[in-house]
C-alpha cells in the first residue's frame, strides 16, 4: 500500500503544479522565433501552444495571469477551513442519533458498525493534503519573485493548513495510519 500511496502522491502534485502554473504559461504567453517556435510550427502546434497575448511578463500579463495565480494560491490557502464543515455535519448526525440529547450514552444505533460510522471521524487523506501543499508551494516559489504578494498567500496556506489539521486531529479525524518518511520522499 505504501508504494501505491507514494506513487499516486508523486503524480498528484506534479499534475496540480502543471495545472496551476505551467498551463497558464503555455496558454497565455507567446513565443517569437527560436527553436521551440520552429518545432511548434513544424508540428502544427503553433496555433495551440504558446500562442497567447503576452510576449513578455509586463503589467498586462500581471493584471491577467498574475491575478489568476494569486487567486488560485489564496483560495487554496483558505480551502482547508472547509474541513470544519465535515466536523459540523458529523456533530449534526450525532445530535440526530441521540434525539438532540446531550446524553452521550443514548443512541438509536443497534449494530456496532452503524454506531462507529456515526461516532468515529473520517480518515484524513494525507496524500491529497500533502500534494496540494507541495504543488502550491512550488507555484508560489515559481512566481513569487515577480509577484511578492504570493508570499502572503503561501503564509496563509501554511498557517491555515497547520491549525485546521491540528484542531481536526484532536477533535474529528480518526487516528491515522503510521506513515514513514516514504510519503515525503
Contact 128, 12 (CB under 8 A): yes
The pLDDT mean for the chain works out to 79
Q: Of 29-33, 55-59, 104-108, 160-164, which has the strongest mean pLDDT? A: 160-164
Task: Note whether residue 181 is domain-resident.
Answer: no
Q: Does residue 159 lie in a domain region? A: yes
Number of domains in the chain: 1
The answer, yes or no, to whether residue 6 has pLDDT greater than 90, is no
Is residue 71 in some structural domain? yes
As a whole number of angstroms, the distance between CA 36 and CA 39 comes to: 5
Residue whose C-alpha is closest to residue 172's, from 103, 66, 86: 86
Of 13-22, 65-74, 118-127, least confident by mean pLDDT is 118-127
pLDDT, tens only, 127-173: 778 888 888 999 999 988 888 999 999 999 999 989 988 888 877 77
* Cell representation of residue 6: 507514494
- pLDDT of 8 strictly over 50: yes
Name 40's Cβ contacts closer than 8 Å, sequence gap at least 6.
Answer: 31, 46, 49, 50
Pick the closest to residue 147 from 90, 69, 88, 93 (CA basis).
Answer: 69
pLDDT of residue 137: 92
C-alpha cell, 115? 454506531
8 falls within a domain: yes
Residue 180 covered by a domain: no
**Alpha carbon distance 74, 92 (integer Å):** 30
Lowest-confidence pick of 21-25, 27-31, 103-107, 141-145 = 103-107
Please give the pLDDT value at position 1: 47
Range of the domain at 70: 2-171
pTM of the model: 0.71
* Angle, CA of 182, 184 and 185, to the nearest 5°: 60
* Residue 50 pLDDT exceeds 50: yes
Indicate whether 176 belongs to any domain. Answer: no
Residues linked to residue 162 through DSSP beta bridges, in sequence order: none
| For the ranges 4-18, 112-126, 152-166, the one whose mean pLDDT is highest | 152-166
In a domain, 182, yes or no: no
SS3 percent helix, strand, coil of the chain, rounded to 5, is: 70, 0, 30
Residue 49 dihedral angles phi and psi, to the nearest 5°: -115, 140
CB distance 147 to 122 below 8 Å:
no
The answer to which of 4-8, 139-143, 172-176 has the lowest mean pLDDT is: 4-8
In a domain, 103, yes or no: yes
Mapped to the 3 state alphabet, what secondary structure does 114-144 carry? HHHHHHCCCCCCHHHHHHHHHHHHHHHHHHC
Amino acid at each position: 500500500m505504501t508504494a501505491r500511496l507514494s506513487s499516486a502522491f508523486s503524480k498528484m502534485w506534479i499534475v496540480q503544479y502543471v495545472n496551476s502554473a505551467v498551463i497558464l504559461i503555455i496558454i497565455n504567453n507567446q513565443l517569437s522565433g527560436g527553436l521551440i517556435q520552429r518545432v511548434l510550427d513544424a508540428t502544427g502546434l503553433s496555433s495551440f501552444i504558446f500562442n497567447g497575448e503576452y510576449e513578455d511578463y509586463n503589467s498586462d500579463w500581471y493584471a491577467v495571469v498574475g491575478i489568476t495565480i494569486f487567486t488560485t494560491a489564496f483560495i487554496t490557502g483558505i480551502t482547508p477551513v472547509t474541513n470544519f464543515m465535515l466536523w459540523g455535519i458529523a456533530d449534526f448526525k450525532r445530535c440526530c442519533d441521540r434525539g438532540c440529547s446531550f446524553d452521550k450514552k443514548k443512541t438509536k444505533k443497534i449494530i456496532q458498525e452503524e454506531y462507529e460510522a456515526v461516532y468515529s471521524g473520517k480518515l484524513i487523506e494525507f496524500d491529497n493534503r500533502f500534494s496540494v501543499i507541495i504543488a502550491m508551494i512550488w507555484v508560489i516559489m515559481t512566481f513569487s519573485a515577480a509577484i511578492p504578494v504570493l508570499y502572503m498567500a503561501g503564509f496563509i496556506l501554511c498557517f491555515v493548513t497547520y491549525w485546521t489539521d491540528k484542531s481536526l486531529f484532536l477533535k474529528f479525524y480518526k487516528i491515522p495510519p503510521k506513515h514513514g518518511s516514504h510519503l515525503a520522499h
